[in-house]
A and B are shown apart, each in its own frame.
Chain A
Amino acid sequence: MENALSELAHSLNTTTTTEGTFFEAILTESGTIEVICSNNTEFPIQVVMTEKQILAVTYLFKTSEIQLDKVAELNIALLELSPLVPLSSTGMQGDHYILFGAMAISTDIKEIVHELEVQAENTIDVLEAIESLLN
């Protein structure tokens, strides 16, 4: 799996999409690939792999960053928005709200970069949509 990760990181570092997005991918100490997309350099994407899938995870914000009385409203908003967001879904991990995309392990690099590029865009879209509920 480590080989596959470094191979993917290398491919990402040498690929530019048709829209001109390029990537900076590094292998982290935690065993993930951290990807910074040129179209959104503020929200890095963590990429991990299992035997069957590639997961791309963007950490959006912590529970503590939501206005105290708006948590339920925000949760419903994210559940409703999730199906509308192309290729990415919203979710939660611990006290972090996340945006994530899952791909089959056999996905080729062209599709992977497209997915990451779209996820980087989606991050801005989703955050803009729910910004008023944050601290």
Chain B
Amino acid sequence: MSILRNIFQAIKGGASQAGEAIVDSNLIRILEQDIRDDGNAINKAKQSLTNLKSTEINLKRKLESLSQDISDYEGKAVSLLESGNEALATETAERIAEIETDYNETKTEYDVLAKEVTDLNKLIKNRAKNLEKNKRELEKVKTVGELQKASASINNNLASTGSTANSVRDSLARVKEKQQKWKDRQKAGEWMEDESQSSDLDQKLADAGVSGSATSSASSVLERLRSKNTGS
């Protein structure tokens, strides 16, 4: 039975409280054992593959060298035939036949090995697929456990604060109020910013000597009075 279905049936049966073992523990043990088995099988197959690889390389090298020998001797046999040296040509042909036998035997060995490699790769792929599937299944079980922890944590909170203070409507009202306050504060901040920027402007104007009548000083007042005096 799939884990999800197992969990659903447990929930339907009312086993949704934190701490309760929702998933059949046998099922978990089987999954964990399967995961271990797949992991071991994959490791073993990979090890075999590594061992086979060196044999494969050796056989391939041998095949290449044998095939090279065959074509060399064939070339020699042809020229011996052309020069009429029938006896040596026959001897060479016998040698070729020997090498060919060796080549065919090696080739058979190589083909068997190649099939073994293909099979091992197939096995690894299948086992890995199964492993991932089982891991995902187990992940669901673990998630149930983690969610139970989250639930326990929130229940502790509810217990410590008292449930009446925690009605969702009250919480929502409080959070909205906070948001409003934050927005108000932000507006206030913007207003302050504008204010300080305009006083910056006054300062700049004063610095540039174009402050107009906005700023006055004792010296400017005296200056004004003097000019009035001389004017009259």
Binding site for B on A (CB under 8 A): 28-32, 34, 40-44, 46, 48-53, 55, 57, 59-61, 65, 93-96, 124, 127-128, 131, 134-135
Contact = CB atoms under 8 A, between A and B. Distances in A.
B interface, over-half SS: helix
Which 6 residue pairs of A and B lie closest in terms of their CB atoms, listed nearest first?
A: A48-B146, A46-B150, A61-B168, A30-B153, A30-B152, A42-B175
B149 interface: yes
A94 B143 CA distance: 14
Interface residues of B, number: 28
Given A65-B168, A93-B150, A94-B18, 14 more contacts: A28-B153, A31-B149, A32-B146, A40-B175, A42-B174, A42-B175, A46-B154, A48-B147, A50-B143, A65-B167, A94-B17, A127-B168, A131-B169, A134-B168
A28 B168 contact: no
Contact of A52 (B139, B153, B157, B179): B139
A55 B149 CA distance: 12
B172 A124 contact: yes
A50 B157 contact: no
Nearest to B18: A94
Contact of A41 (B136, B142, B175): B175
Contacts of A48: 146-147, 149-150
15 contacts: A30-B156, A32-B146, A34-B157, A40-B175, A41-B178, A43-B171, A44-B157, A46-B149, A48-B147, A53-B139, A93-B16, A93-B150, A94-B18, A96-B151, A124-B179
Nearest to A34: B153
Interface string B157-175: 1000000000111011011
A50 B168 contact: no
Nearest to A130: B168
Contacts of B136: 52
